[in-house]
Amino acid sequence: MKRRKVIAGELRELPKVGRKRTRQRLKRASSKAERQLARRVTELQRLCGAAYQMAGIVGAPVRFLDNLSAASAGRRLPHRVDGLLPVYDYEFEFTLE
């Protein structure tokens, strides 16, 4: 019996021993990818929390603060992302002179 490169749909073509090992490998890979994704989401939420604090200090427009706050908490964004820009200097509470 030829061994072919294993893809999830081809498990039935492997001998029974190979099927079990392949399923275990697929499970590990899947859970590893999920862990990496969860780690990445957590990092981005923390980044949005830090950006929220910085945006608050410089007096950023409320629509940015709302979106950053929601993103850092994992909630739905209240303002469309493509509607955030452009930003003008008069929208900031503080301006540099």
**Digit-coded pLDDT (tens) for 16-25:** 555 666 666 6
Q: Is 45 helix (H, G, I), strand (E, B) or coil?
A: helix
- 5 has a pLDDT exceeding 50: no
Cα separation, 8 vs 41, whole angstroms: 27
Residue 48's pLDDT is what?
A: 94
Which residue stretches of the chain are H helix? 16-57, 62-73
pLDDT tens digit sequence for 29-73: 667 777 788 888 889 999 999 999 999 998 999 999 999 999 998
Write out the two tokens for 71: 């993103």
Cα separation, 65 vs 80, whole angstroms: 13
Task: Identify the band that residue 3 occupies on the pLDDT scale cut at 50, 70 and 90.
Answer: very low
CB 9 within 8 A of CB 23: no
- Please give the model's pTM, rounded to 2 decimal places: 0.64
**Burial class of residue 18, CB neighbours in 10 A (0-12, 13-18, 19+):** middle
Cα separation, 74 vs 95, whole angstroms: 31
